[in-house]
Chains A and B, each alone.
Chain A
Amino acid sequence: MKEAWRSFRMATWLGWQIESNWTDPFLFLVYSIIKPVASVMILVIMYWVITQTDTSSAYFAYMYVGNAAYIYVGSILVGVSWAVIDDREHYQTLKYIYLSPIKLYYYLLGRGMARFLTGTLSVVITMGFGLLVLKLPITLSEVNWPYLAASMVLGLASLALLGLLLGAATLQMARHYWSVGESVAAALYLVCGAIFPIDVLPTWMLPICYALPLTYWLESLRRAVLGSDVSKGISPALASFSDSQLLLILLGSTLISGILSLFFYRWSEHRAREKGLLDMTTQY
């Protein structure tokens, strides 16, 4: 356990250094602000062009909160799978890391944690921009904080475990795996209702939405921040689930993700050793 914690902690520190020390802190801050704000402004202007209304409607807030939280999906999913690519092919250090007295599983989790930290910076900036500039109809005193905390813990744990699943899959891939994380994040953006209620999707896609923990995570977040009634009114497809049911489903899917990721990771690591994939370089 001590070794797992040390691996996790050092990987988090290393990941943070890689993410942030390529420039001076000021430029890093500007970089951290511009990207998420630009990303969310695309949706703001799309919304404004069509509705010609202000951004204080509940529907807009529903979209905005989902989009802001989705930053974590990109950060964590991409972060873990990218760590395999970076270390194996770019820095060519994965073999040394593997030989050192650390646990690779927790090391990869730690690298995901570093991306979680940079993602948090983006989420805070995005939400701050929404509250202060766009005047989102969110009253901080009315936010269900305990429910929000439970939803965040379960959702982020689920994301980290899915990230490990993707990282384990990346161990088996060559050449084009660099876009796997981003591609999966883009696909999930569509099917988990990040920027629209899943009700607008074709009926045949709904089972996919219901099978994803992210759908329940985003819905529970919105209920915590905007209120249950508001969120249920916007997305009738998920209205039949009570607040506690959402968390229970999220808990169940997180446990399943954890078991799956652990077994898949072990199999993937074993196969990578057998096939000599731990020091494979095909890109650089």
Chain B
Amino acid sequence: MFESRRNRPDSVPVVNTFRIPTASMDVDTRSAGRYVRSGVISMLLCALVFACCFAIGRAERPAAAPAERLPPSLPSVSAGTAIPVALSGAPPIRVIQVKARTTVTQTASQSVLRATPIASSLPASLAPAAAAIPAPAVKAPIVKTPVRSTPESSNGSTGGTSTPPAAKGVSSPNGKPATKSETSSSTSFDSSG
């Protein structure tokens, strides 16, 4: 081995004892550099992860609680039992009996109109009796029947109490009998709101 070294053109004596420490220093330097590089990479990774998670948290914040908002002093759920905000819907009020009576009133009113000369000349006090004529009587052009105190129709109306509506309908302020719209509006009560 020595001979071979001597035959080299640039025969510089190299002793193994010098080479070993040199190699050790190179390894340490490379290792230290690797550690530094790993540290830097780790720190950058940490910064990246922090930034990403910060962005995620910031993006989720408006959905959970709006940014830049004053927090409520008391959540509404802690206000106790719920108070109904409105009365629940109820079925409309309907007066069946009055409907029947009013229908008769309208028919009778029409009969009064048809029985022109005599019926229209009846005094107002008699008009209620005319209003009590049942529907079939309208077809027969006999207008004296009301005056003969024809009994109440058999639709369940009570005798004396039937007069006020008929009288009111016939002797309305404008002198006209109860109109159809008046009749229909008074038949049902829809106050369900």
- Do A and B truly interact? no
B interface residues with partner A (beta carbon < 8 Å): none
A interface residues with partner B (beta carbon < 8 Å): none
